[in-house]
Structure formats: C-alpha cells, structure tokens
Amino acid sequence: MAHTKSAKKSIGIIAERRMKNRSINRSLKTNVQKAESLIDDGEQQLAEDAVLKAKVALDKAAQKGIIHKKNAAHRKSNLMKRLNAAFKSGS
C-alpha cells in the first residue's frame, strides 16, 4: 500500500490510464475482428471500409502510445494481406 501522498495520487492516475487503454484496446480488437469477418463473408466494399477504419484506429493507438508502432504496422499488414488475398483472386 502506498504511504506517501504522491504515491497515492499515482495509484489513481495509473488506474485511470489502465481503464482508458483497456477501452481503446477493446475497440481496436472489435474493429479488426469486424474487418476480418467481412473479408471472410466476401463483402468486398464493406470489408474495405472496415479495414480502413481499423487501420485508422491502429494508427491512433500507436500515436498515443497504447500499442507499439511496429505492432500497429504488423496488424495493418496482416489485414491488408488478408484483404488482397480474398478479393484479388475473386475479382
């Protein structure tokens, strides 16, 4: 348990940050899963829109330091590979 005034304040600040980061991570996961499911369903236009939305969300999270920039790049790359593989051969 914290003893000093500053340590007690830090506990509150850390808890607030954790909740905010968890919320953003959850929305990232939701956006990516939506894009992947639309790709799997064969909805090309909707999938492209969802992938774009997921890419923007990943970039924002990386910019805010919630995820590492290389983690965001890796996840965007995987989404684009999946999108291109699904619709390049089908079109």
CA 89 – CA 74 distance, rounded (Å)? 23
Domain that holds residue 54: 5-88
pLDDT tens track for 12-47? 999 999 999 999 999 999 999 999 999 999 999 999
pTM score, whole prediction: 0.83
Number of domains forming the structure of the chain = 1
pLDDT tens track for 71-82? 999 999 999 999
CATH number of 27's domain: 1.20.58.110
pLDDT tens track for 58-72? 999 999 999 999 999
- Provide CB contacts within 8 A for 39, sequence distance 6+: 47, 51, 82, 83, 86, 87
Selection from 44, 55, 32 nearest residue 89 by Cα: 44
87 touches 44 (CB < 8 A) = yes
CA 83 – CA 22 distance, rounded (Å)? 27
